[in-house]
Amino acid sequence: MMNSLFGPMSYFYEKLRLPIPEIRQVPPAELPSAERVLLAHDRDMTPTLEAAYRARLQIRILQYVATEESVHRLVALEMEGVQNTVGLGAIHIFTARLPAPARKLVLDRQEPFGRILQEAGVTHYGRPSAYFHVTADSVIMETLGLSEPCVLHGRRNTIWNASGEALADVVEILAPSKNIESGE
């Protein structure tokens, strides 16, 4: 069953026939300070995490489904050249609304969506609609390299173009923030 708070992440849980993990919506003030800085804004997540970790990020595709109109992808955001996953994202990208160069980059499956929009010169903005605490289940733990369940933090965000059309619906979950300041 689709969970509106878990948005595009629900799509993959349904596809995998797994129950949605325990999730609770919270106001930004209830996020820990480091996570609040990384989540409570209207900027792209990729450059925000790259600045925090002082490293370029790459994606590792975990699940991918494409139609003529859109792409669903479940990705791990990782520091380039290092086995360090800093986040997990599920995104529903409305490819039909993208200019051809950006659409090609999405279909190439090599770059984070925020970087694609920046490099293709697509004017856009984000509008987070919710912040949440989620208890890591087996999918999240395996992706983030966690050995036991813990409470993580995330957001639901919609990315819009200059004409007010939704370009993507995304859920972003941060890995534990132990290495943010050192960039390791």
The CATH number of the domain holding residue 168 is 3.40.1410.10
pTM across the whole model: 0.92
- The residue with greater pLDDT, 154 or 180, is 154
- The residue with greater pLDDT, 20 or 3, is 20
Reading phi first (left if > 0) and then psi (alpha if -120 to 50, else beta), residue 183 is in left
pLDDT digits (tens, 9 = 90+) for 10-34: 999 999 999 999 999 999 999 999 9
User: Is residue 160 predicted with pLDDT exceeding 90?
Assistant: yes
Average pLDDT estimate for 64-87: 93
> Is residue 183 a part of any domain in this protein?
no
User: Is residue 102 predicted with pLDDT exceeding 90?
Assistant: yes
Average pLDDT estimate for 140-160: 96
Domain extent, residue 74, equals 7-174
> Is residue 182 a part of any domain in this protein?
no
User: Is residue 180 predicted with pLDDT exceeding 90?
Assistant: no
The mean pLDDT of the chain is 92
Average pLDDT estimate for 86-106: 96
Report pLDDT for 181. 47
| Alpha carbon distance 183, 50 (integer Å) | 9
Report pLDDT for 177. 74
Domain count across the chain: 1
> Is residue 40 a part of any domain in this protein?
yes
Compute the 3-state secondary structure of the chain and give helix, strand, coil in percent, each to the nearest 5: 30, 35, 35
User: Is residue 184 predicted with pLDDT exceeding 80?
Assistant: no
Cα pseudo-dihedral 83, 32, 133, 39, rounded to 10 = -70
The proportion of the chain whose per-residue pLDDT surpasses 90, expressed as a percent, equals 86
> Is residue 179 a part of any domain in this protein?
no
